[in-house]
Structure 1
Amino acid sequence: SLPVCRSRTMARGSATAPNIEWLIAFRFLQGLGASAGMAVPRAIVRDLHTGNEAAKLMSLLMLVFSVSPILAPLTGSQIIESFGWRAVFWTVTGAAALATILLATSLNETRSVEERANSSFGTALAGYRYLMGDRNFLGLTAIAGFGIASFFVYLSSSSFILIGHYGLSPSVYSVFFSINAVAFIGMSQLTGMLADRFGLKRVVWVAVTGYATVMVALFAIMASGVDRLDVMAALLFVGYGFLGLVIPTTSVLAMEEHGEIAGTASALMGTLHFAIGALAMGVAGIFFDGTPLPMVAGITLCAVISFSLAKLTLGRAREAVEAPAE
């Protein structure tokens, strides 16, 4: 609960910041505290469950993680319009205070006393070194990372393209953006059911293959000179539906064998996801020219890389299982 308390304190500091320098400083510290909200829930899921049961819970986490970025800008804009920008941070302060109360009253510790006693900064560093040498963990993390990166590329460019190039109003753009999010969220909720029936690795493989295929088709259509919003919208909707299956399944598989260092694994996974996404956004920005093709090319490249990594990682795991004992 300490990171959440710290986030609450920094949000209050942001609300009372006397200038932009203090606001940036408080926001940076607030982000450090809030980052626990991404890493800790995955670790808790791994502490309590593995396999298909973990996949079901991970899909619920994806629902929360995905809905929040959609609702936050809409809610924030209304708060700013009605009460001013400082009210946003007072709202965050209240939300963090509520989260602190819920943590203190409703969430039980999932690690044993012995495990907590053996935890230290040194053991965390040792865990990071171990994970960085685990090709299966890195491969599965990168599969999801490039999937997330493709969404970051879309997020960074879509408003300029849909409003500037296609002439959509900001309100219609918000609806357009939300529709793709619905596809992602909706399909992610099927993760547990599909994993029960087909197995996690098969779901990952089919989802990554479907995502890459749809994105390659979209790029081929756009590169041929077809510049139609309805075509792009339809294929993005289908593609992000496939992506909704990729992230929870790869997260479960990546952490499957690291229950003893679940928190470290979750933290490193989140760091790599956002690092890959930030890098992809930066590269995509270099080639942005106001037309859809560079954005689609960036999304497609990320999807193809994700597919290639899945072929290597899942193929390597299959070979390890099928290899005869010496």
Structure 2
Amino acid sequence: MGLLINGQWHDQWYDTSKTDGAFQREDAAIRHWITADGSAGPSGDAGFKAESGRYHLYVSLACPWAHRTLIFRELKGLQEHISVSVVSPDMLSQGWEFDTEHPDPRFRSNGDELFNSRYLHQIYTRHKPDYSGRVTVPVLWDKQRNCIVSNESSEIIRMFNSAFDQITGNSLDFYPQALRADIDAINERIYHRVNNGVYKAGFATAADKYEAAVSTLFAELDQLDTLLAGQRWLVNDALGQSHLTEADWRLFTTLVRFDAVYFGHFKCNLQLIRDYPALSRWMKRLQKLPGVMDTVNLDHIKRHYYFSHDTINPTRIVPVGPRAGFLPGAL
């Protein structure tokens, strides 16, 4: 995992020496919004109007943050309106790479159809030649203005949720006005304790920071399992009716990776997700929805984490298991 400093690439891992061994994630830096009429969103500049064919999404199939955007692209019927480039899963000395000739066909990128770039960091410097910051996925690119719209996954999924509805006619709403306060509250909890919690455990370089992260993570998973034992989805309305919202999808992309990667690679090994009865039933309900499992690529997921994080797994040996069907509630 590298970064750009004044437009120059540096192969530099996270420095936890300044935080006593704790991992701290940096906030996304580019945060404009696509809106139906091109007006300004909650942050950034105006001028990004929802138009078919105007935007391009850069993702990794391994990354849970990018995975969110692929799910929303699928569920909101945006496949014909927003094109996609998928990087290869190996994130090595040059970061995310468009490796179209990987020796294993499973791990080949489909390439950068816009600019034929070799590395994702070249997209960032195309946006801003002297860009400084981490080079992450997802990236939402504007073909018209020739710049990055956003590299913040939580905001990209909200754009996909509603900005293009007049174009697609898809009225599914995963962030309804009446439930936003409840959705925001559970998102905040899950982000710190689960979504980023697994990374706090996996990237910690001090035992006390690792143990604190694991303790918080599993306390939250216990609470979520209890919550879902009594309701279908994470958020209920005032009448007790359960609604499928973005909160479910934001949790799903972490938990679908948990048993295969985070349990072993990040040492989050108190319990498997498949051993949580309510969470497993909830996962199965999500997996059954049309198109969802088309966005899950376990080959990329396992390859990326075990092969790319050589500070954690210096042998780069990718485990052969778990067996097929390990996904919680797999069909």
Task: Work out whether the TM-score is over 0.5.
Answer: no
> Which has the larger share of helix?
1
Structure whose residues are more often strand by fraction:
2
Identify the structure with bigger relative contact order (alpha carbons < 8 Å, sequence gap 6+).
1
Greater Cα radius of gyration, structure 1 or 2: 1
